[in-house]
A and B are shown apart, each in its own frame.
Chain A
Amino acid sequence: MSYRHNDSGRLIDRSQTLTFTFDGKTFTGHPGDTLASALLAGDRMLVGRSFKYHRPRGIVASGVEEPNALVNMGHGNRMEPNQRATTTELFDGLTAVSQNRWPTLDSDIGAMNAAIARFLPAGFYYKTFLWPRAFWKNVYEPFIRQSAGLGRAPTEADPDSYEHFHVHTDVLVVGGGVAGLAAAKAAAATGLKVLVLEQTHYWGGRTPVDGGKIDGMPAQEWIDATVAELEAMRNVTLRTRTMGAGVYDHGYALGYERLTDHAPDAEGPRHRLWRIRARQIVTATGAIERPLAFAGNDVPGVMLASAMRDYLVNWGVVPGQRIVVATNNDDGYRTAIVLKKAGLDVLRILDAREAGGGALMQEARDLGLRIDCGRGIGKVSGGKRVKKVQICVTTGTGGAMEALDCDAVAMAGGWSPVVHLWSHCGGKLVWDDAQAHFRPDPAKAPTGADGLPFVTTAGSASGPMALGSVLQDGAAAGTRAAKAAGGKGRAPKVPVAEDVEEAAMLPVWQMPARAEYRLKSKSWLDFQNDVKVSDVELAAREGFESVEHTKRYTTLGMATDQGKLSNINGLAVLAGALQKPIPQVGTTTFRPPYTPISIGAIGGSARGDIFQPVRMTPMHAWHDVHGADWEPVGQWRRPYAYPQQGEKVEEAVQREVTNTRDNVGLLDASTLGKILVRGPDAGRFLDMLYTNMMSTLKVGRCRYGLMCSENGFLIDDGVVARVGEDAWLCHTTTGGADRIHAHMEEWLQTEWWDWKVHVANLTEQYAQIAVVGPKARQLLESLGGMDLSAETLPFMAWADGELGGIGVRVYRISFSGELSFEIAVRAGQGLALWEKLVEAGKAFGVMPYGTEALHIMRAEKGFIMIGDETDGTVIPQDLGLDWAISKKKTDYLGKRAQERSHMTDPTRWKLVGLETEDGSVLPDGAYAVGRGKNANGQLVTQGRVTSSYHSPTLGRGIAMGLVLHGPDRMGEVLEFPGTDDKVYRAKIVNPVFFDPEGAKQNV
């Protein structure tokens, strides 16, 4: 059993007791505990089930590298899956539930997966694609769906708040262990601004656990003194509970601060994302111990040796009573010594090295511990808890020499520097043969905007693991970074520590070296994703030579711990199987964030109403008061419809269309882009921009125009009015205003820089109101002020004047097929004019209409809509818009591209109208199927629906679509399978459904 030891635990406050629950059972702990240490203190070693085989899993590590102890924290709107118990600080009332088990952790039905493990080999998911198609629907898919995903996603909105911090600093130090503190001290001495981030809630890292003296004092004393010294400096900022999440180009870095996770009742934001710009970054990120790959290394009770001593020294927790230590290096002895000194029963130290270790081995021997050299673990057995260890010869095949009854195993496989932050932005690694790990190559550091290195590593993150070298390296890194950041002045004295002489370690990637398959298939590399030595070897046999491919094929290192434990072991096994040296196999890519960060922190305060700025027209508030059902269009909100009391939105839309066609409607068209193009070369410029001729337009007249990209594709449309001898006003779509303005600027600045033209985006300067319907003229005349007769203001003309005492410009243009006037007015007068129109319009039955009525009316007339009929692959010729393309012009943007063979291909789908046989509405986006199948065995397609509505005017469904040889197939019936398993039959017709002669608009 695991339990709380009497008199150790430097981080806990035994005078207070906290209560929490795990899987509904009540436990207790102390302030300073992690959830993991408190669970172990309560004899809860089994904490989860593995992802694939549902194997029982216990706590392996004591920090961020923990792969197994992932729990679901909290409930309701504060429920959060996949929280690491080892980095979760305990608080009173904490509730945690284990994951990936059913019905309970102790008796899990999914564990049968383990029984069929042979049928779930590496690449199982990919292999299923090769097997009979019928198996997919009935066998694989249900299986994969049921087992996919770790933890459950919360369903309610997060009630907590989050924020961003923007910070500039000269030197950023990531990691508050002794190396980070030494670096910070050295850098701060130059007077530069220094920011130090530490992911835990205490300083000094693991040095107080590992022991040693610094500058002649106990490590903890030196740490306290150094932190006090740094705290007193005005140029230094220290932050605990803040993880350095990522390093990016040009000295950008992200920090992730957890402010209230340990105190959920505290005020203020829960997490804070630090967005840091640093001149120099020091990564003092420490090192992580590697497990050993022996059979049964995942049985609960097998732990990293360093974690076992962490639990004892930091939290006074003992993981077992009869302990076996397996090591391939001297550091493993530290755990044995600490355990023995605490009075625990260390049964045996198994040292993989024939010659054993150095001074630490001697110390262990002097304490009376039994040490077997050249020995390792052949197998651990026990199911839900370690029961027995079989001892074998390290170099052998796994034949048991002796069995020991025990309940905990410490494994020490050597240390790997945490190189993540160094690597995020391009820092390269070098293989260190002596320590069998990849470490940063100082000659190949990430470089910044000046082309010079901006990241430097400190302490064990650089490679050296002994305290003295760690301090020396840390101080040197701080001095180096400060100098590179422009700091001057003498560096302080380098702290010194005496190092214990250590014997060389022996790389052990599989224990024993020549293990049989039955052992390899139980030797775990990636605990969370269930990847074993045998899986990586199988991948190599199946031809996966690249480490990146093997990773994806086996899912090695792809779990939430991102391979912090498993990576080096996994690629060493791969190298072995490929018979290549490890550095030649290389590592996978390290990507930020270092450990998972909350989505809330990434979003910060940008959520709900302040997610992004909302653009409002001058009439926005009026629409809101009058019941507008809003639709987002770009950053604008536009009324989709104005449902009245007791009316459904769809009913409102139909009413608005009918009223506009019968009486008169008002549309807020202010969001349409309005770009003024002016100058001696403006006409020439617009002739290049539009497919038709704009330079010949007369002052006072309007013309519809199409704009294409240089690739030939239609990008925008709208009405252009010539407002002066050298000035044109170009209307764009609502979403296109900024984009088209930028498009104009680009051509004017980069290609036709000598043309005398300037453009101004006036979109927000004017409100625009469309007055539409047979009674539109009567309504406007009732306001009085200008002559709007057909003779004075014919179709496609504009005039300046006054309406109801307000200065206006009236464009006689129509997007609905009705008699229609678009009235532009200075933005400040928009609401006043709108209200006058509403008031005066009562006599004519005026009603406002929204975007959906606008869409229906344009579709009834067969007018295209950018974004519906176009999708970035459609050219004007596809839409039958040849009439709007000038034949006289030698050039316009898109012209040459439209002459390319693919664009002139007669089999391009063309615009037609579509009418269902039964009057129903075709599903938007549905495809028309043809006869036969394509090369992939799918039904051949011959067209698709681009717009589809119920037309109140015609009392039936109408649609537009692009169809193969469409215009030549009038009257033919096409079949459109819907996603509702129905097949819709529709006839090809002319896309102009209503008033094809244009009689209604020409009055």
Chain B
Amino acid sequence: MQRFTCPFCGLRDEREFSFAGESGKTRPDTAAEVSDADWSAYLFTGTNPRGRTDEIWVHTPCQEYFRMIRDTVTMEVLETVPLRRDPS
């Protein structure tokens, strides 16, 4: 079981967290025409990289979403930051 640092509460066990998506994925502007391909890419396609990944997680007890940079191979947790701040 991994441990992550909630930027608001501190170091906690993995079971207190949920994955919420890859960082940088924005909802297409539906006021304009969005093709089926673009929409399904938004809904279903992730990059799921091997190694360094940039993700949004939520800490369930405080319900704050935050950004986490981690390595899926070494299990290293590189950084967790609130959504309003850029990672270093």
Interface of A toward B, CB cutoff 8 Å: 248-250, 252, 277, 426, 446-451, 710-711, 742, 745-746, 749-751, 753, 890-891, 895-897, 900-901
Contacts and interface: CB of A to CB of B under 8 A. Distances in A.
Given A745-B63, A900-B39, A750 B74 contact: no
B75 A890 contact: no
Contact of B65 (A250, A710, A746, A897): A746
A447 B77 CA distance: 11
Given A449-B75, A449-B77, A451-B76, A248 B40 contact: no
A447 to B, nearest CB: 4
A448 B11 CA distance: 14
B31 A890 contact: yes
B76 A449 contact: yes
Contact of B21 (A742, A745, A750, A895): A750
A451 B71 CA distance: 8
A447 B40 contact: no
A447 B30 contact: no
Contacts of A742: 58, 63
Nearest to B40: A900
A390 to B, nearest CB: 53
B39 A449 contact: no
Contact of A750 (B31, B65, B71, B76): B65
B69 to A, nearest CB: 12
B56 A750 contact: yes
Contacts of A753: 83-84
A570 B7 CA distance: 49
A711 B43 contact: yes
Interface in B57-88: 58, 63-65, 71, 74-77, 83-84
Contacts, number: 67
B31 A891 contact: yes
Contacts of A249: 1-2, 14, 75
A741 B53 CA distance: 28
Given A448-B75, A449-B75, A750-B20, A896 B83 contact: no
Contacts of B83: 749-750, 753
Interface in B1-58: 1-3, 14, 20-21, 26-28, 30-31, 34, 36, 39-40, 43, 56, 58
Given A896-B34, A901-B36, 17 more contacts: A249-B1, A252-B1, A447-B74, A449-B2, A449-B3, A449-B76, A451-B74, A710-B43, A711-B43, A750-B56, A750-B83, A753-B83, A896-B30, A897-B39, A897-B43, A900-B36, A900-B39
Nearest to A425: B75
Nearest to B21: A750
A233 B58 CA distance: 42
Contact of B2 (A250, A745, A901): A250
Nearest to B1: A252
Nearest to B44: A711
A227 B42 CA distance: 61
A600 B39 CA distance: 48
Nearest to B23: A750
A451 B79 CA distance: 12
Contact of B1 (A248, A426, A751, A900): A248
A450 B36 contact: no
B74 A895 contact: no
A447 B27 contact: no
B62 to A, nearest CB: 10
A585 B12 CA distance: 40
A214 B12 CA distance: 44
Contacts of B1: 248-250, 252
12 contacts: A250-B1, A250-B3, A250-B75, A446-B75, A448-B76, A449-B76, A745-B58, A746-B65, A749-B64, A750-B20, A750-B56, A890-B30
A710 B40 CA distance: 11
A897 B42 CA distance: 11
Given A745-B63, A745-B65, A900-B40, A895 B76 contact: no
A547 to B, nearest CB: 23
A746 B20 contact: yes
A745 B59 CA distance: 12
Contacts of B27: 710, 751
B76 A450 contact: yes
Contact of A895 (B26, B28, B30, B77): B30
Nearest to A709: B43
Contacts of B58: 742, 745-746
Nearest to A749: B65
Contacts of A901: 36
Contacts of A745: 58, 63, 65
A805 B30 CA distance: 51
A900 B77 CA distance: 38
Nearest to A745: B63
Contacts of A900: 36, 39-40
A750 B18 CA distance: 14
A448 B76 CA distance: 6
Contacts of B14: 249-250
A950 B76 CA distance: 58
Contact of B76 (A248, A426, A447): A447
Most B CB atoms within 10 A — which of A277, A451, A711, A900?
A: A451
A896 B37 CA distance: 12
A749 B65 CA distance: 7
A749 B84 CA distance: 10
Closest 4 pairs (CB-CB, A-B) = A451-B76, A749-B65, A447-B74, A249-B2
Nearest to B34: A896
Contacts of B56: 750
A248 B63 CA distance: 26
Contacts of B28: 896
Contacts of A710: 27, 43
Most A CB atoms within 10 A — which of B26, B28, B30, B36?
A: B30
Nearest to A890: B31
Nearest to B77: A449
A397 B36 CA distance: 67
Contacts of A252: 1
A448 B43 CA distance: 32
A944 to B, nearest CB: 26
A901 B37 CA distance: 12
Nearest to A748: B65
Contacts of A447: 74-76
Contacts of B21: 750
A248 B64 CA distance: 26
A751 B65 CA distance: 11
B66 to A, nearest CB: 9
Most B CB atoms within 10 A — which of A248, A745, A896?
A: A896
Nearest to B30: A891
A745 B65 CA distance: 9
A450 B84 CA distance: 25
A247 B82 CA distance: 31
Contacts of A248: 1
Contacts of B74: 447, 451
A891 B56 CA distance: 24
Contacts of B34: 896
Contacts of A450: 76
Contacts of A426: 75
A508 to B, nearest CB: 38
A895 to B, nearest CB: 7
A895 B56 CA distance: 24
A896 B56 CA distance: 23
A446 B75 CA distance: 9
B29 to A, nearest CB: 9
A250 B84 CA distance: 28
Contacts of A896: 28, 30, 34, 39
Most B CB atoms within 10 A — which of A277, A742, A745, A749?
A: A749
A250 B1 CA distance: 7
Contacts of A750: 20-21, 56, 65, 83
A710 B28 CA distance: 12
A751 B83 CA distance: 11
Contacts of B3: 250, 277, 449
